[in-house]
Structure 1
Amino acid sequence: MNSTDKKYKELYKAHYPKVMRLCLGYVAGDEAIAKDLAQDIFIKIWENLDNFRNDSSISTWIYRISVNTCLSRLRTGKKRSRTIAIADVPEILEEHSDADREKQLVQLYKCIQKLSETNRAIILLVLEGLPQSEISEIIGLKHDAVRTRIHRIKSQLTKCVSHE
């Protein structure tokens, strides 16, 4: 096994769960589509791993590929009039016994789907626990702009969830 293969395996193992959660957020919990997206993302990572210049952290680079791939898929999906079912929001909901919590999570996913592409990317990265500085690097906005957007997005989602 050469060093590129080894590095790829380590990246895959370390980042697959995060990439998968991000993809699930973009497709309202549709696991089959999320798995396809994650596979596409890791193919792109493999194809471009030797070109990674260390201008940013490897995780920032992976998130950038992930966001771009998810947005690209959503754009082409919309052009084909493809709708994504929200009925079966993530299987993790089945693990929770609290019906109210389940209902809120379903509403949250529905509300996230209503956000603009950039705002959706920002909030999904926030939910993933990334620092605002890294989010600003991934999205390509200034840190202050990201901080302001996060505040507005949270407010918008709070209103949306309570009115759904």
Structure 2
Amino acid sequence: MSKKQQLFEDIYKDSYPMILQMCLGYMKGDMDLAKDLSQEVCINIWNSLDDFRGKSSYRTWIYRITVNTCLQHIRKEKKSKKVAIDQMLQAIPAEPHEIETTKSKSLYIAIGKLIEIDRLLIMMVLDGQDYDSISEIMGIQPTNVRVKIHRIKKRLKKILEHGE
């Protein structure tokens, strides 16, 4: 096995749950779409592995690839407007072995109602990233991250309580 293959396997084992969770948030709780998008992220990681310069940690680098892949997918989806939001919400799987509790489904649906950047931020918070890491990934000041996350949490609470 080559060094590149071994490195990729290590990255995959360590990062796939985070990648899947981020994609799940972007795909508004649709596990099938999230898995497909996660595979696309992994392909992008493999293709970019030789370009990693070590200016950040692998985890930060993987977040950036995941975010960029998700945003590209959303932009393509908006351009083609294949599926109406109601159809997407109906497509959320009801398989008990997936992440699925009623609360988590509701949370992912609520997260799906946020704008792209807010979805990214809250998914990083849910993944346990600290504000400094989020700041580095997003390229914004840590104080701005705190303010944005506070506002996002208030918005999510309002969505969950009132179904907006």
* TM-score of the two chains, using structure 2 as the length reference: 0.89
CA distance in 1, matches of 2:93, 2:153: 20
Matched with 1:34 is 34
CA distance in 1, matches of 2:106, 2:5: 41
1:15: Cα distance to partner? 0.7
1:78: Cα distance to partner? 1.2
Matched with 1:99 is none
CA distance in 1, matches of 2:29, 2:82: 15
**Aligned partners of 2:25 and 2:108 also within 8 Å:** yes
Matched with 2:99 is 92
Question: Moved runs in structure 1, 4+ residues, more than 4 A?
Answer: none
Instruction: Give 2:99's aligned amino acid.
Output: I
Give the length in aligned residue pairs.
Answer: 156
Instruction: Give 1:159's aligned amino acid.
Output: K
Matched with 1:47 is 47
1:109: Cα distance to partner? 2.0
Per-residue CA shift, 1:80-108, capped at 9, x if unaligned? 11236223257322xx4xxxxx1x43332
Q: How does 1:52-71 map to 2 (within 5 A)?
A: 52-71=52-71
Q: How does 1:97-136 map to 2 (within 5 A)?
A: 102=102, 104-136=103-135
SS at match of 1:54: coil
* TM-score of the two chains, using structure 1 as the length reference: 0.89
Instruction: Give 2:136's aligned amino acid.
Output: E
Per-residue CA shift, 1:127-161, capped at 9, x if unaligned? 11111111111111111111110011001111110
Q: Structure 1: 5+ residue runs without aligned partners?
A: 97-101
SS at match of 2:99: helix
Q: CA RMSD in A?
A: 1.5
